[in-house]
A and B are shown apart, each in its own frame.
Chain A
Amino acid sequence: MGNMNEARSEVPYGTLDLMVLKTLDTLGPLHGYGIARRIEQVSQGSLELNQGTIYPALLRLEQRGWITSDWGTSENNRRARFYSISPAGRKQLTAEAENWSRTVAMVNRLLEGQW
């Protein structure tokens, strides 16, 4: 998927969690493939994501209690693990999102020399 010629960047450290949480918050329960696809779609091919790396991230989020998971059936009738965001995860998402915006704004100001 995606064009090999385009400039692609690696997933910045720590942002994968945020993206997963946001995806689940927006789209509701989703399996790993769905989450990976959604992130790729949103990044419009600008993110180099080995889709497999999503699973350790999902386990991490689950262990922290931010998402929950359960077996379900995928659109092509396969048994798949569906993940959904927990209330604690929503809280974390809000906090992380704010934090992210602040960081981005700060970096932008820095880069634009407005200080």
Chain B
Amino acid sequence: MISVRVALARLRGLLSRPSGDSRIEQEISAHLEMLAAEYRRRGLETEEAMLAARRSFGGAAQVRDQWRSQRGLPWVETFAQDIVYALRQLIHSPGFALASILTLALGIGANTGIYQVLYAVVFRPLPVADPQRLVELLVTEKGKPQHFSYPLFREIASRQNSLTGLFAVSEFPLHDATLRGRGLAKSVHGAIVTGDYFRVLGVTPRAGRFFRAEDDRTAAPLAVISDRFWEAEFARSPEALGQTLDINHVPVTIAGVTPPGFFGETLGLTPDIWVPMRLQPRLMPEDFLNGAYTWLAVLGRLRPDLSIHQAQAALDAAYQRDPDHLGGHLELHSATRGVDGLRQFADPLYVLMATVGLILLIAACNLANLLLSRAAARTHEIGVRLAIGAGRARLIRQLLTESFVLSAIGAALALPLAQWGSRTLVSLAAQRVSLETGSHALAFTATVAILVTSLFGIAPALAATRVDVHDALQSSHNRASGSVRGRALARALVVAQVSVSLLLVSAAGLLVRTLWNLRYQDFGFEPERILHVSLPFEVTAWRRLAAIAPSLSESLASLPGVRTVAVSSCGPFSTIQRTGWFAAPGRPAEETDGARMVYVSPGYFEIMGRIVAGRSITADDRKDAIPVAVLSQTAARRLFGNENPMGRFISGGKQFDRRNQLLVVGVAHDVHYTPRDAMGFVVYMPLAQSPAPVTDIELRAAGDPARLAAAVRDAIRNADPSLRVSEVRLLRARIESELTQEKMMAWLSTAFGALALLLTFVGIYGVVGYAVERRTREIGIRVALGARRGQIAGLVLKDVSVLLAAGILVGGAVSVAAGRALHRLLFGIGSVDSTLALAAVLIATVSLAAGYLPARRAARLDPTEALRQE
């Protein structure tokens, strides 16, 4: 208690410093006067009395000091003194201060910025009640997780008691639902959920009410809207409740609004509207509620008394008892952070985090070098201070305070930079992530600042104060040489910089080549001059399209500049895929087949494919003609091995079924569905023979396809004004949009690689330049004794080369390891690669250039000048 009170009193003292100082002054002078008066009473003269009083009082200065140090918190004061001193030092060398603060602000800012995104993507718990108890249910077959079908979800839900509740949800394909009746038809992001969705997540409505379990039975046409949608569409008016929205031609009544910040259960998705599961058959072209469509994510909340393992055991047992179970096992995974829709984004973020960490490391090396040379320049000053009795610890503290002040200012500037950076990063990656600046970002910034201060501050402070006082005072300001350890440290820092730069540059090379490889790979069709139209997946549109497709195709084909038109369902670069099993006589479908089904119109293979054998699908493949199929090369190989597939039969399903047989009439080149998609098992069937929702229209243009876009939109609108088009883009642009992340990584890694090179250049230039300056006299003597200029430059460059070689050796080893760690992000790059060699050449060039400039200066030294220098 006493110590707390003393601490508080001292704190008060510290804050009321000026008045406190005058208090002790007044007390001392009053005391001296009373004492002097006493002496005068005893008969001393005024002067003598005052002297006697002073003697008797003792050292007034000591009393004052002691009183002061006791009154406040002395370490705070010395710290404040140090800071003031540090600031003064920095103001004296504004160039150094500006350069280091800028370096730190950029370095720390980049780190905080990427950390903020990483936190939002990987670490942040869902903004719902008690997210720790949320689990995701997965059916895992051979290690491959699968979605649930609705019947399976119902079955598990009715049999389990390990969860206090569970729900099924799917954003697909309602993520591109059509909202009509509020201005032009537009796309809204919808999610379809079972009745317990909001209760299990533990969210309370911002307004109105959420769905209830009974809504699953009644199939009530309700909707819950997001706060953002509420604001955008209704300006947050309470009148919105009870209003009707037309979603995919289904009228739904707004029942409630979610709280701000709620984005559902899946990271990276931010639905505007939630509708009950029972509306599914009315919202989409097919009834997914009955049958084996596996399309649902299932989440639940653990019973408080059960561990995740106990619950998993019980649920798996229930699953195994289900007569229709799919095989495999039911597993529970923690869903504290939600369903991970952004795992693809997490890997690049980790790589970027490491990259900016390394950049900061290089920057810290430069700062350490700067501080070392500053310290060397201050050897004399430090020697003097040591000689007059300053403790080494006190001096180290002083020097560290300078570093700390730099970091603190840098960190303060880093915060706004980080805000900007994280937002830019998220938009570059075209991701929907809500970012927030919380205490975690501040804590991270502070930690990084402290870490980096210790990185660049401690070693130079130790080296600077390890000074022989005698030597330091003997030498003059200019020639003070800094300690041997300081120089060794500077060289080690250069090696570190070179190796880290090599790592970053070679990683950038790999990522750029990955982008190139993905972009210009053989997609299995010629991707140039294709215009690609995506259509929303909705019932009425599909029915209308099926009816008007032939005439629409004709009117599109008659547009000037159009060479070929095709319509298709679920092909490459469609937002929707359809998979199933295919068997041939005597060859049942295998688990690993996973065939994709594409329904196409005549002309399709002239745009999105390449027939390698047989024929393509033509206008003759009518409904009443013999059902045919075209196989991809992989499909042909899997189903028929090396035999000729032409004229053979296949059928859908796990076993061959004569009644549904399709005649194989052609083989098409394998295609990539997306840039990273493995070429695979595809079966093409004529749209005319298998009614399927048209999802895409493809056009091959004679000239620039971009010119066609407006005409194509008009033609579709003229064909049916109620049709909405999701997207009209060049296929090249669609490919590019699939490569957003790779592009982001290629750009950022290149920028960071260049930054690393620049920092390394500056670092080497500084260290070598300083070494040359230090050796001016020696070089002068050498020149005077007849050394040729080339020899002098060689002498300096030899020094650089040794460091460079060491750096490339270390960096090369690290880069090879890093290349392996990066493999998930890379594409089309073997384990041994020329990129590293190129990067090494680049680093060597830059380093030697950085060394060459001071070397040239050394070689041009005038010996008389050099020797005259003291």
Contacts and interface: CB of A to CB of B under 8 A. Distances in A.
Contact of A52 (B30, B38, B63): B63
Contact of A79 (B5, B30, B59, B66): B30
A32 B31 contact: yes
B35 A33 contact: yes
Nearest to A37: B38
B31 A60 contact: no
A80 interface: yes
Interface string A76-107: 10111100000000000000000000000000
Chain B contact residues (Cβ within 8 angstroms of A): what range?
A: 20 to 34
A81 B26 contact: yes
B71 A59 contact: yes
Contacts of A37: 38
Given A63-B5, A64-B6, A76-B37, A31 B59 contact: no
Contacts of A81: 23, 26-27, 30
A56 interface: yes
Contact of A55 (B6, B9, B63): B63
Contacts of A28: none
Interface residues of A, number: 24
B430 interface: no
A78 B32 CA distance: 11
A108 interface: no
B9 A53 contact: no
B59 A50 contact: yes
Interface in A60-76: 60, 62-65, 74, 76
B30 A50 contact: no
A17 B63 CA distance: 16
Contacts, number: 74
B63 A56 contact: yes
Nearest to B37: A76
A36 B422 CA distance: 67
A55 B24 contact: yes
Nearest to B61: A52
B34 A78 contact: yes
Contacts of A62: 9
A63 B10 contact: yes
Nearest to B42: A1
Contact of A51 (B2, B5, B37, B58): B58
Nearest to B71: A59
Contact of B35 (A51, A56, A59, A79): A51
B34 A33 contact: yes
Interface in B545-560: none
Contacts of B31: 31-33, 36, 51-52
A59 B59 contact: no
B158 interface: no
B384 interface: no
B30 A33 contact: yes
A63 B37 CA distance: 31
Contact of B56 (A51, A63, A79): A51
Contacts of B62: 52
Nearest to A1: B56
Contact of A78 (B9, B30, B59): B30
A33 B39 CA distance: 13
B28 A55 contact: yes
B70 interface: yes
A95 B71 CA distance: 26
A21 B38 CA distance: 24
Contacts of B26: 79, 81
Interface in A25-46: 31-33, 36-37
A60 B30 CA distance: 20
Nearest to A60: B70
Given A55-B24, A62-B9, A31 B67 contact: no
B57 interface: yes
Interface in B15-69: 23-24, 26-28, 30-31, 33-35, 37-38, 56-60, 62-63, 66-67
A76 B31 CA distance: 11
B58 A53 contact: yes
Contacts of B37: 76
A9 to B, nearest CB: 16
Given A33-B35, A55-B28, A80-B30, A63 B6 contact: yes
Q: For B33, B35, B57, which residue has the most chain A Cβ atoms within 10 angstroms?
A: B57
Nearest to B10: A63
Given A63-B6, A64-B5, A52 B59 contact: yes
Given A56-B66, A78-B30, 4 more contacts: A52-B31, A64-B6, A76-B34, A78-B33
Nearest first, the 7 closest Cβ-Cβ pairs linking A and B are A50-B58, A52-B63, A63-B9, A52-B58, A33-B34, A56-B66, A80-B30
20 contacts: A1-B56, A32-B30, A37-B38, A51-B31, A51-B56, A52-B28, A52-B59, A55-B28, A55-B67, A56-B70, A60-B70, A62-B9, A63-B10, A74-B30, A76-B34, A78-B30, A78-B33, A81-B23, A81-B26, A81-B30
Interface of B: 2, 5-6, 9-10, 23-24, 26-28, 30-31, 33-35, 37-38, 56-60, 62-63, 66-67, 70-71
